Amino acid sequence: MEELYLVYVHGFGTNYKDINFYEFIFSDKKDDIDGEGWDSYPANGDPQPPKKQIIKQMGVIEVKFELELAQNNEQFSMWDSIDGVIPLAWEKIEDEYPSVRLIFPFGMTLKDVEAALYERDIIIKYEKK
């Protein structure tokens, strides 16, 4: 099985129970990843998910807390995330600092994403191919 890498995290809403939904998008490569609006500086919610031909796997998580997303950052661009300046997503700190803070950098392997989520009892649900 080929190695898959995290290339984008997309927040797509909250339901009436205040559950937040996030897509984790994986590719089999870390080079030449691009999408519409990725050159916006700062990102400010403009960057869209990468082109469909790049996406090899997509999973969704449902959580009660919020993730800060590179796509919404008001100081940095998506390219800053690709360069490792900021992660694609990180757990927003509300009242209390969690014992393990979730941080998802660009290029993190699918196995490492699953392990980080599992440590917090979160299961990622994959789109069926």
pLDDT of residue 40: 75
Host domain of residue 90 = 5-126
Residue 87's pLDDT is 95
What pLDDT, in 10s, does the model give residues 75-117? 888 888 888 999 999 999 888 887 888 999 999 999 999 999 9
Instruction: State how far the Cα of 106 lies from the Cα of 92, in Å rounded to an integer.
Output: 18
CA separation for the pair 99, 91 (Å, rounded): 12
Q: Say how many domains are in the chain.
A: 1
Could you tell me the pTM of the whole model?
Answer: 0.90
- Assign 124 a pLDDT band (cuts: 50, 70, 90): very high
pLDDT score of 129 more than 70: no
